[in-house]
Amino acid sequence: MSTDSIEPFLDYFERVRERTRRVVLCVPPEQLEWTHKAGAFTFGDLIRHLGAIERWMFAENAQGRPSRYPGHGPELAAGHAAVLEYFDAMHRESVEIFRRLTPEDLARRCETPGGAAIAVWKWLRSMVEHEIHHRGQIYLMLGILGIPTPPLYGLTSEEVRERSRPGPAIRPATASDAPELTVIARAAKRHWGYPEAWLAAWEPVLTITPEYVGRNTVLVAERAAMDGGVVAFVGLVDAGTHWELDHLWVLPEHQGHGLGSRLFAAALEEVRSRRPGVLRIEAEPYALGFYERCGARQVGTVAAPVLGTPRDLPLLELTV
All domains of the chain in start order, with CATH: 7-159 (1.20.120.450), 165-319 (3.40.630.30)
Taking only the tens place, the pLDDT of each residue in 18-41 is 999 999 999 999 999 999 999 999
pLDDT tens digits for range 95-105: 999 999 999 99
**Average pLDDT value for the chain:** 93
53-96 tens-digit pLDDT: 999 999 999 999 999 999 999 999 999 999 999 999 999 999 99
CB 236 within 8 Å of CB 246: yes
Residues 113-163 have pLDDT tens digits of 999 999 999 999 999 999 999 999 999 999 999 999 887 766 677 767 766
Structure confidence at residue 162 (pLDDT) = 63
Contact in structure between 218 and 236 (CB atoms under 8 Å): yes
pLDDT at residue 226 greater than cutoff 50 = no
- Going through the chain in order, the beta strands assigned E by DSSP cover 109-111, 117-119, 169-172, 217-222, 230-238, 243-250, 278-282, 297-303, 312-319
pTM: 0.56
Q: pLDDT value at position 89?
A: 97
Predicted confidence at residue 150, as pLDDT, reads 81
- What pLDDT does residue 161 have? 72
Distance CA 168, CA 222 (A): 5
Asked if the model's pLDDT at residue 225 lies above 50, the reply is no
